[in-house]
Each structure stands twice: as C-alpha cells, then as structure tokens.
Amino acid sequence: MKYYVIAGEASGDLHASNLMRELRRRDPSASFRCWGGDLMQQENGIIVKHYREMAYMGFVEVLTHLPAIFRNIRQCKQDLLQHRPDVLILVDFPGFNLRIAEFAKQQNIPVFYYISPKIWAWNQKRVLKIKRVVDKMFCILPFEVDFYRRWGMEVDYVGNPLADAIAAREATDAALHGDQPLIALLPGSRKQEITRILPEMLRATDHFKDFRVVIAGAPAFSEDFYRPFTGSRQIQVVFGQTYDLLRASRAALVTSGTATLETALLNVPQAVLYKANALSVAIARRVIKVPYISLVNLIAGKEIVKELIQETCNEEQIAAELGKLLHDEPYRNRMLADYEVLRGIVGGPGASTRAAEKMLEYLSE
C-alpha cells in the first residue's frame, strides 16, 4: 500500500516514524512518501521536504513567511496528485495539513489524521472543517474524545505515542554522568523559539555554579548554531540524547511543547517557558481558550508545573523557580507525586501499534 505522510516539526517526525514502523510490520508492501524529518527517513520514507523548511510558530512569524508557506502547499498538492497514494496520513501541524486534507478530499484520496490539532484551545469551529475533510481522526489525549463528540464527530483514542517513544529508548546516559548534578535545557526545535528563550535559560542557570548545564540540541541544527548563545560558558550540547539527558538530570527548563510531557513522563521536575513575538503573544492571549499552555497541566486539569510566559520568562523568575526545583524537597516531591497521577491518565505504550491496526482495519473495509 502507498502511504503519504506529512509531519511539520520534530515531535511529528518522531511519532510519524513510530507509526510507519508499525504499519510496515503489518503491511510488508508499504511504501512511504513523506514531508518530515530524519526519523521518518530512517523508516524508509522518501522525504520530499524536510520539516526545518516548514516550521513557523506564532501569528506574526507565520505572516512574514506566507510566500514560502504557499509555495510549500502548492508543491505538496502537485506531488500528492503525481503519486496518488492509497491514503494520506497527516500528523498534527494543522495550518498546513488541513489545507492539504481539503485538497486530498476533493481528489478522493482517503484522509487519516494522527494526533489531532489543538482545536480545543482556540477557534473550536475548525472542527466543522475537520468533519468535512478528514475521514478518520486518531487522538492521543483522552479529553479529545468528548470534545469531538460534543461536535458530533466520533474519533479513535489510541493513547499517547510518547509512552512508546520513551519505552523504546533504553537508558544509555553513562556519558552524561559526572561529579556535578545536571540541569537540562530543552529550548525547542524552531529557530525563532530557541533564539528568544535559550538566552534567558542560560542567564538563569548562571546562578547555579554547582550544577553542570547541558543543552538538548534540535536535530535540524548543528553545535555551531548554539555557540553564539553559550559564549564562553563550558556547556555541552547533545543531539539525539534528550531522554538520556533528562534521565540524568536533577531538573529541567523546557520550552512549551511536546517536550514538557516527555519531561514529566521521565519524572524530571521542570519549569515550562515560552517567549515569542510580543504581537503574536498578545493575539494568542485573546483567542486561546484554555487556562494552561503546557500539555502537563492541560492533561492534569491543574497546575503541576510552573509556566513562565513572555514577561515572566526572564532571568530572575526562571532562576527563582529553578532554585525551588533543585533545592526545595517538598516542592519537588509534590510535583513528582502529580507526575505519577499524570502517567496513569496518559497510559502505557502501544499507541503507535493501536493507530496502525486501526488504520489498516479502516483501509480494508
């Protein structure tokens, strides 16, 4: 069977690659044409365009890159028509993927959506478009089932694929251990967010000389990209070792995104940071309808981890929160106890397997 898979960022690349592996196990004739990243390529995916050429975050940032975005959409539509897959599988990335879904639907190409866009956070009426252009939705957050049902759409809940990714990665963190305890910095995967948030992270960690600081590098960049930020500081940057780094760390500073949930599932106390273009954040605050930005707090339905956003994402407030994460044992223990409840909500491994089985079941009908 011919699969066309689109993922527009690092987390989508991870989850799409795990799904592709499970599809290949059940469909030996599977071939994949992809918009994605290195992990999808490792699963025998032919990469049409790498996600590093597609990932823009923030209202203003998207507006300034509209010509490139529209060129990508045109190219994707042409490629989709040329290769006519048996199914189009979209992974999150709604601004791009919903446009492609609409086009594929017009061309009578089945559309599966793996990892729902966060439409429950803002502009919920987008669900009406999803009902029209998506044949099957596979959700990874438990509350999404009830959300879609309120809008008259039945979806499949398959569990969270992060549990798969973590279970599949054996601990190999010996090289990260040393005499000093570690602070992990996860500044994100996009250039815009790294540029705004990493300097604040680094200035905050300067207050903790007894700890070694290690940065989890994004796969789309090299170590040279990070050196202007670290300057004369003796800071290691690691690639492809984020889980190992987290397992070895006392605490973490994490840019809002999938990594916040990964950090919680790996049981590392954290603070969640976010800073973007001031106008983008102002617009977001007017339209976003949820009380938290981190997946950890959203899934739990309460504040487990501190969120430092825009004005509060600064050296002083980050350093104050990091001090509590490193030294305040009752504070740490409360967070770790809440993580235990969170893991129960998220569930164990198997999401990629369940999603692949469901997809093949629907395709065989």
Q: Annotate 29-44 with DSSP letters as a single string.
A: T-EEEEEE-HHHHHTT
For 232-239, what is the mean pLDDT?
Answer: 95
Counts of helices then strands in the chain (DSSP H, E): 17, 13
- The whole-number pLDDT of residue 282 equals 66
Count the Cβ atoms, other than its own, within 10 Å of residue 278. 11
Kindly report each contact of residues 280-286 with a partner whose C-beta sits within 8 Å and lies 24 or more positions away, as own/partner: 280/58, 280/59, 280/60, 280/61, 281/58, 281/309, 281/310, 283/59, 284/59, 284/122
pLDDT digits over 310-342, tens only? 999 999 999 999 999 999 999 999 999 999 999
pLDDT band, very low/low/confident/very high, at 285 (cuts 50, 70, 90)? low
- The whole-number pLDDT of residue 57 equals 53
Count the Cβ atoms, other than its own, within 10 Å of residue 146. 11
pLDDT digits over 118-154, tens only? 888 777 889 999 999 999 999 999 889 999 999 999 9
Residue 129 to residue 147: CA distance in whole angstroms: 15
pLDDT digits over 188-200, tens only? 988 989 999 999 9
- The whole-number pLDDT of residue 279 equals 74
Domains in the chain, ordered, with CATH?
Answer: 2-159+350-363 (3.40.50.2000), 169-346 (3.40.50.2000)
- The whole-number pLDDT of residue 250 equals 97
pLDDT digits over 216-227, tens only? 999 889 999 999
- The whole-number pLDDT of residue 237 equals 96
- Higher pLDDT pick, 178 / 162: 162
Both tokens assigned to 145 = 């089932």
- The whole-number pLDDT of residue 281 equals 66
- Higher pLDDT pick, 135 / 290: 135
Residue 245 has pLDDT above 70, yes or no: yes
- The whole-number pLDDT of residue 287 equals 61
- The whole-number pLDDT of residue 61 equals 54
Count the Cβ atoms, other than its own, within 10 Å of residue 181. 15
